[in-house]
Amino acid sequence: MERTGCAVVGGGPAGMMLGLLLARAGVRVTVLEKHRDFLRDFRGDTVHASTIRLMDELGLGAGFRSLPQSRLSNVAVPVPGAGLVTLAAFDSLKPPYNYVAMMPQWDFLDFLAAAAAKEPTFSLLMESEATGLEFDGGRVTGVRYRADGGYRDQVLHADVVVAADGRHSVLRRAAGMRTKEYPVPFDTWWFRLPRHLSEQGEVAGVVPSLGDRDAMIALNRTHYYQMGYLAPKGSDAAIRAKGVEWFRQRVAALRPDLADRVDSIRSVDDLHWLDVKLNRLRRWYVDGFLCIGDAAHAMSPAGGVGINLAIQDAVAAAERLAPDLRRGRVRLRTLAAVQRRRRMPTLVVQAVQRIMHRVIFVPLFAGTLSGEMLAGKGQDGGRSRFPVQRTIFFILRHNPVIRRLLPRVIALGPRPEHAPGFARPLAVTPPTKLEPMTSPTDTAADTAAARARLLELIKELAVVRGKVILSSGAEAHYYIDLRRITLHHEASKLVGQVMLALADDAGIDFECAGGLTMGADPVGTAVMHAAADAGRAVDAFVVRKVQKSYGMGRQVEGPSVEGRKVLVLEDTSTTGGSALTAVEGVRKAGGNVVAVAVIVDRDTGAKEKIEAETGVPYLFAFGKDELGLS
């Protein structure tokens, strides 16, 4: 007879986390997963701050950060005429848990499976599909399952069976449990579009596009975009009847920047329909049996928090089940305690999702709400319509308390759980500052995305066309005002990332960054902050135009550059004069200049002059061709 302590059915986020934690408690645990691997269609990519903190508490933080991922620092919606409006800025939270990680769910599940496999009491049975429950009197005593596509059921006896088998839970039904269903106004259709190498992170992100009775989101994957089309519930047959050409046109209308590749959708068979549900059980357990995650409460994708909630359920369940499992008998009241602990977060999140459905999705899919109206820019100025929606939107954008609370609520969730003591390795101290991602692929993608966005901002904000006389006296038909970039709230951070990557790519190792005041000042501090975000120590400095004749008579201000490797920065250069003055000042202060780097090179001979006079390489992030100025 096959026997285990805890039989967990479902190798999703809830099941894998529960398996890992119980195994760390030294309890025998067997996870059954019906698929042969974790690679399957889209089920959400978000790993929230509370789960990232959990990874650190479990001593898995370094491994987690080495998985291909990108970091979401805010939630924004496109509002016509107002650009991207940020609703929740995660980067306003205290580091290191001030972001949401985006990673393919299969990578995350593989990672949990590998960590659990190190525990001697853990077993994972893939291609093992649960078909029903075993009862003894009124108590559940095991699970029936079919392995490797076989025809005969096998039985796994257990002290407790946990259903983590998702929204269509077979075991929930087998236990005679019924869910309370809430109406959901939309379904999703998943499909892929190719991602050109040259785009890197440029065109997608998680930004939703709102259309006329439909919407779309796009998520970056390494070689393609994972697209989600949202339309009214019940329209699958109608969409398929309209045919692929109609669908391609909708995609092109919602994302004109991706219109060049809609032909890659070969037929409507490429669309994977997902029936979105929002429901929950009144009681999550019967004797010997417990439901967690979507099996207990199916979550809508609205807000993208279902994975986090499922994981937090698993943590709460592990903490309460482990002592009973060690004793070999799981009490009914222990199962009740799990539900009591997780009921409030579930109610809160589902209530918010239902409000989102009612105030955003219902009118959107009825064709009566658009981004313009939210921003009060509809035909009648939007004043008379959607007062509730516009008030909520206004509060989200402008109320300081909500702006502080919202990112916290999304990133951490209500009642976030901490790793139980038995699951924490002895010698692990969770980080206190933001740790860098160590995945080479996505660091590259992040830099490419930062570079693309910075270029866009420079073109939009800094290039001033018309006849101008430059400081050198020469005449030009355009002018680049990079202070509008280096002092800009969004661009400043990108400047730091891009300049740091520029030096790294050129193999320049440096400890101090700065240049001649004032053009170089914000560039130096941006690089310093970007380096700190990447866990590196780079000091900034400022070179005065002339040496001070009073006080300590210094020309270079800030932490001393003496004997240190220095990167001299400038925003842009015409004659190279400012950079040369800065190099001279740094050298007089005892610094070892290793390179000169500017954001924009105007191709006016600065490179040749600086390299000849200083003997160090001259780097630039953007040439004038890229700005369309040649």
Ligand X SMILES: Cc1cc2nc3c(=O)[nH]c(=O)nc-3n(C[C@H](O)[C@H](O)[C@H](O)COP(=O)(O)OP(=O)(O)OC[C@H]3O[C@@H](n4cnc5c(N)ncnc54)[C@H](O)[C@@H]3O)c2cc1C
Handedness of CA 155, 159, 163, 165 (dihedral sign): negative
> Residue 107 and residue 37: Cα distance in Å, rounded?
11
Tokens of 341: 């602990």
Residue type at position 584: E
Q: Are 530 and 537 in contact (CB under 8 A)?
A: no
19 lies in the binding site for ligand X (CB under 6 A): no
577 is in an annotated binding site: yes
Does 471 carry a binding-site annotation?
no
Stretch that binds ligand X, among 279-287, 291-299, 457-465, 540-548 (CB under 6 A): 291-299
* Smallest gap from residue 305 Cβ to ligand X (A): 5
33 lies in the binding site for ligand X (CB under 6 A): yes
Check residue 116 for interaction with ligand X (CB under 6 A).
Answer: no
Calpha distance 244→236 (Å, rounded): 13
Is 306 one of the annotated binding-site residues?
A: no
Find the part of the chain contacting ligand X (CB under 6 A) among 10-18, 395-403, 438-446, 597-605: 10-18
Q: Is 572 part of any known ligand binding site? A: yes
Among residues 7, 310, 411, 516, which is the contact residue for ligand X, using CB under 6 A?
310
Does 447 appear as a known binding residue? Answer: no
The CA distance from 569 to 533, in Å, is 19
- Whether 493 and 530 have beta carbons less than 8 Å apart is answered as yes
Q: Of 293 and 345, which has the nearer Cβ to ligand X? A: 293
164 near ligand X, judged by CB under 6 A:
yes
**332 vs 411: CA distance, rounded Å:** 32
How many residues form the binding site for ligand X (CB under 6 A)?
36
**Neighbour-count burial of 284, counting CB atoms closer than 10 A to its CB (0-12 exposed, 13-18 middle, 19+ buried):** buried
Q: Which of residues 118-147 bind ligand X (CB under 6 A)?
A: 129-130
In angstroms, give the least distance from the CB of 424 to ligand X.
22
Q: Is position 308 an interface residue for ligand X (rule: CB under 6 A)?
A: yes
Q: Is 441 annotated as a binding residue?
A: no
Residue 486 burial (10 A CB sphere; 0-12, 13-18, 19+): buried
Q: Is-contact 349 410, C-beta < 8 A?
A: no
Q: Which is nearer to ligand X, 288 or 514 (CB)?
A: 288
CA–CA separation, 101 vs 47, rounded Å? Answer: 5
Say if residue 545 carries a ligand binding annotation.
yes
Count CB-CB contacts under 10 A for residue 375.
19
Interacting residue with ligand X among 89, 207, 274, 508 (CB under 6 A): 274
Look at residue 255 and give its three-state secondary structure.
Answer: coil
Q: Which range of residues in 30-38, 80-88, 355-363, 565-573 is near ligand X by CB under 6 A?
A: 30-38
| 299 binds ligand X, rule: CB under 6 A | yes
Binding to ligand X by residue 185, rule CB under 6 A? no
b/e per residue 169-182 (b: at least 16 CB within 10 A): bbbbebbebebeeb
Query: Does 496 sit near ligand X (CB under 6 A)?
Result: no
List interacting residues with ligand X (CB under 6 A).
9-15, 32-35, 43-46, 129-130, 164-167, 170, 188, 274, 276, 293-295, 299, 301, 304-308, 310
Q: Which residues are annotated as a binding site?
A: 544-545, 548, 570-578, 602
